[in-house]
Structure 1
């Protein structure tokens, strides 16, 4: 199928009062596993390429081309998104790469500079039809707005979205990047306050560390885009390690990448089913 613009997927889930999941791609097997999982769940997904993943590959072109090829040959509705982009030059490659959206990350800058840079990104995006997500929260080391303990202030978020014109806002409500255990506790009162204060979709980063029940509740309370990355890597690496431990003489990568891809697909399908269940519960 043709790639579906991220803005269209988000508009669709808003109409249906549910959330869409966005999964990070690092290898071809990630992209294939995401598509397979989406097909199994019969739900749309967003494939994300982070700036760090692009740096790993040395260039965005090959991994973006692979991801878009997988998406176009899938029966699922899939969009391509550039995530946590701090480099404006990389951001401006989005149309060429097949990405319909970018999360511009200016959180490392002081508030006023973040506003100015994000506004510039939004104005650029409007000229090229690119949906722009941004992030707001106190600086918290490597994880920025999603470091443990950081929370987004609803009034500041309202001012930020008005000043920048962003299409969506990633907010800090208790999740954190790169968590390897599902132990995050979300601030549900804050989620509801942010939903009431803002007229743009809310984005939950660091969702790999969020228990299923918490993630489902967050979707019911107003989180629209749910980002998941580390959970795929845990599944991928665990399957690879398990195969190689059981087959120490194996040398053909296809033998261990196949179960790794399958583990990614299972993780994707499960997360999508959790969100689908949350939507069903909200309608009851």
Structure 2
């Protein structure tokens, strides 16, 4: 089927008080696993490629983007393509031609005024080129290998009044909010500020996005969706599943050399994780994939 539009999937989720899962991919196996897991769950999904993933791919966005787009077109569920955590203006300007329907522009590390100015300029370009655009206010820590921000550090939480002013001035289509999660967490121990989420949901009339969701326990994710989160970003959970499965496989067969054998095991583990987490977001209960 044709590529879905991120903005459409998120708007539909927000209108129905549910969330669409957005998984960060690094390899073709990631993309195939996300599609397979979403098909098993029977739910739409978003494939995300981050600026860091582009750097890993020798700075070239199109090879992985085009492979992901082909996997999406072959899917039995709607699949959208999203360019995530973009700081580079050059990469931003490649988004439309590379097949993305949306982009997350990340100037959250800058002081408020600079963040607003940079984001406003990015919005102007994105909307002029038919792209839906997400931004972040209040820094979700853990990016680029940095330690997660302390819960009480300046900028670690999104202020509702500041967020309302930011959204109105910048014109973004969705806002990633900092409510207690962090990127690159390898344990599900994050505790979300649901009171703050409730205030943000009232203050803003654009869909809210949760980043760093791999470290959020299932119950907390379900509560966040009930509280107004419409897009949930997941990345590290896939890498944990893939690496763990491959490590176990190679430990059991030290003579294995055909990469197809262990990559297929890693891909299956990621697909199972996708199905499980979509079930959590949709019903509050993990879906156990068939073995």
Do these two structures clear the TM 0.5 threshold for a shared fold by scoring above it?
yes
SS at match of 2:80: strand
Aligned to 1:161: 167
2: distance between equivalents of 1:73 and 1:230?
Answer: 25
TM-score normalized by the length of structure 1: 0.95
Indicate the residue corresponding to 1:71 in structure 2: 72
Q: Report 1:73-112 matches (<5 A).
A: 73-112=74-113
| 3-state DSSP of counterpart to 2:35 | helix
State yes or no: 1:133 paired with 2:139: no
Distance 1:152 1:206 in 2: 15
Q: 1:145 to 1:46 in 2, by over 3 A?
A: farther
Cα distance in 1, alignment partners of residues 68 and 140 from structure 2: 32
The 1:195/1:146 distance shift into structure 2, 3 A limit, reads: farther
- Structure 2 counterparts to residues 187-266 of structure 1, below 5 A: 187-266=193-272
On the 8 A contact 1:139/1:145 being kept in 2, the answer is no
Tell me, in whole angstroms, the C-alpha distance in 2 between the residues paired with 1:88 and 1:105.
Answer: 11
2:77 is paired with a residue of what secondary structure?
Answer: coil
Superposed displacement of residue 77, structure 1? 0.6
SS of equivalent to 1:250 = coil
C-alpha contact 1:18 1:278 (8 A) present in aligned 2? no
1:21 aligns with 2:21: yes
Q: Say what the alpha-carbon RMSD is for the aligned residues.
A: 1.7
CA distance in 1, matches of 2:129, 2:148: 29
| Mapped contact 2:140–2:212 kept (Cα < 8 A) | no
Provide the rounded CA distance (Å) in 2 between the counterparts of 1:79 and 1:176: 24
1:173, 1:8 → 2: CA distance?
A: 25
- Determine whether 1:179 maps to 2:180: no
What is the Cα deviation at residue 88 of structure 1? 1.1
Structure 1 Cα separation of the partners of residues 262 and 19 of structure 2: 32
Q: 1:139 Cα deviation (Å)? A: 8.4
Deviation for aligned residue 1:278: 4.1
Distance 1:109 1:141 in 2: 15
- The structure-2 alpha-carbon separation of the partners of 1:109 and 1:29, relative to structure 1 and needing over 3 Å to count, comes to same
Contact 2:135–2:174, Cα closer than 8 Å, also in 1: yes
* Contact 1:80–1:98 (Cα < 8 Å) also in 2: yes
Quote how far apart the aligned CAs of 1:13 are.
1.1
Give the TM-score normalised by the residue count of structure 2: 0.93
Q: CA deviation at 1:148?
A: 3.9
Shift of 1:261: 0.4
Aligned to 2:149: 147
Change (3 A) 1:140 1:39: closer
1:16 offset after TM fit, Å? 2.1
The 3-state SS of whatever aligns with 1:261 is helix
Gaps of 5+ in 2: 286-291
Contact 2:142 2:182 in 1 (8 A): no
